[in-house]
Chain A
Amino acid sequence: MEALLRLFSADKGGFPAWHPNFQGLTHITGTSSNGQQFLKTLLMVVLMGCALTAAYVEWELQGVLASVRNLKQTAVSMSVANVQYVKASDRFLDIGRETQMIVDFCGPTRDWLQMALTLFESRPAEAVFKSLGLKVVPLPKTAKNQPLVQALQVRLMGSIRGETDVALQVLEAYKEALQVTPLFKGRILSIEVSNLTRQNKVNLIDFELTATLSLLSP
């Protein structure tokens, strides 16, 4: 009976009251030593750190992805405006070109009257002028990327009385005379005489004098 009582009084896996037995005790508290505990704690801290870092990276990535989406939307919404801006820009360029043309056209006209006066004042006595043409022409490009350069072309047609050689002398003199006039000086890109045609009936020689002048004032 006593043995039974003891059996019941002793806890399951325990010991009789006040007789904790250390003999053959397999449970060793030292298994979880402080050192190991420290390592466990360290491991936990490292794992927590890794997890937190991963979470932070993920969170940041979500933010970046969100901003990418926003920016894409902005790009789409702005592309319509962009097309309009490009069109406007093209229009501005066109207007710019036209404006330039007008400027180019109007620029030389300032001295057209002066030009005509100069040409007529220095007219040789033997010559008569039939027509005077002034126009702005583009110079032929000498290099591929060379910007367009425009020049003022003066085309003077007229007749000279007398023989051909005399006419040539007169015209040569006229050319030289023109080159020293204030309006022509330093501006002549080329000056030549062409289309000399003799009209035997009236003893006249038709000529054509073409001078190309730079648009810039000297």
Chain B
Amino acid sequence: MLFGKRHFLLELTDYEVRLVQVSGFGHGYRVEAVTHEAPGDEGAINRALYALGGGNSSSRNRVRVALQPRSAYFLLAPLDSSQLVKSAAELSSFPRDHLRLDDVPYLSQIIHPGTGAAYKSNSTQREWVFAGAKASAFEDFNARIDAAGAKVVGAELAPIATIGGVMDYMRLRQMPGGLLTVFLGAETSQVFVTTRERLVATRTLPIGVKGLIAACQQAFELSGEAEARATLFAGGPAIAEKASLIIERLQREVETFAGFYELQAGQGINSLCIIPPFSALEWVGGIVAHGMGTPLFKPDYAAWLEFQGASWAPGLDIQHLGAAWLPTFSLIAQYNTHGSTSTSI
């Protein structure tokens, strides 16, 4: 493999770069190596590539990337019969009209909430997932990753890729009811509820890591934001006593949404998954789940990889990886090539 192509799964957030080297992007892949670097910039991507022996050669390094641009939108919405006859291109103004997006070009996709397939007109399916972000955001990420020494061969929105991942995992574990996933962002957070069959609800919460930093600064009565940030990311016993105070607002927002969902859907939230943009914030999930009295979803990557017919390099510790790695591993997961079946509603 000295001169062969190297395949990577990359997740890029504002706080961290997570890189997984795989043998290939096809079925039966093998996870070769895992690393993460902070913060989420070109330098970190470059360091991560070097750490996995990738070097600075964009002609050799192929990456599939999970992104969460600030301009990303994510909407589960019903279409009426007059809209269902339209093509995907004709429906492109739908999220624009619903979400008051900026008047700039967006890249958008419409996805079936059950099967995850692309939109087809004249379908009996009424609800569809609309997702996208500014075209310029994708271009920026592309340029940054290219500059860091890798060629982007696929770019996905992290929350969308993760929906497929958690649904697959729910099928693997035969998890009942609804799973509430909180996708922590910098300023806002995407939350969505999935069952084994489909995506059932989505919402954007007005709190993210920056809100947690502010709460941390207030809780510890720190003078500067940088200090608060360091304290929050350090986590551990130092933060334990004030942890519930720091996540108070996040927990309240999540609880409100969960309550709203349960009331509206008449279906319970059986577990909670919190995906932080930074592995150091894995502890947030435990505190929020504890505060809400809901079991915390902790992915078992070994079981999931086996379920997918994938393998991992001997000696590679994948068991310790937290929920933050779900988007990265979801990038390669294929949901129609192994035992489980997707049923649409």
Contacts and interface: CB of A to CB of B under 8 A. Distances in A.
Partners in one complex: yes
B156 A20 contact: yes
A44 to B, nearest CB: 15
Interface string B128-168: 00011101001000100000000011111100110111010
Interface residues of B, number: 50
Interface stretch (A22-30, A105-113, A133-141, A197-205): A22-30
Contacts of B342: 17
B157 A20 contact: yes
Interface stretch (A1-9, A45-53, A179-187): A1-9
Interface in A23-44: 23, 25, 27-35, 37
B103 A28 contact: no
Contacts of B117: 9-11, 14-15, 17
Contacts of B337: 2, 5-6, 9
Nearest to A31: B105
Interface in B304-345: 330-331, 333-337, 342
A11 B118 CA distance: 6
B103 A33 contact: yes
B83 interface: no
For chain A, the bracket of interface size reads 20 to 34
B107 interface: yes
B285 to A, nearest CB: 22
Nearest to B136: A30
B61 to A, nearest CB: 15
Contacts of B163: 18
B104 A23 contact: no
Contacts of A14: 117-120
A13 interface: yes
A180 B97 CA distance: 114
Interface stretch (B108-116, B170-178, B215-223, B226-234): B108-116
B313 to A, nearest CB: 21
A128 B344 CA distance: 147
Contacts of A25: 107, 109, 138
Given A23-B153, A34-B96, A29 B161 contact: no
A144 interface: no
Contacts of B160: 18, 20
Contacts, number: 119
B147 to A, nearest CB: 16
Interface string B207-243: 0000000000000000000000000000000000000
Contacts of A17: 115-117, 164, 334-336, 342
Nearest to B104: A30
A15 B118 contact: yes
Given A2-B27, A6-B337, A28-B107, A22 B132 contact: yes
Interface of B: 26-28, 67, 88-89, 92-93, 95-96, 103-109, 111, 115-120, 131-133, 135, 138, 142, 152-157, 160-161, 163-165, 167, 330-331, 333-337, 342
Interface of A: 2-3, 5-6, 9-11, 13-23, 25, 27-35, 37
13 contacts: A6-B27, A9-B117, A11-B120, A16-B336, A17-B117, A18-B163, A19-B331, A22-B67, A23-B142, A27-B107, A28-B105, A28-B135, A29-B92
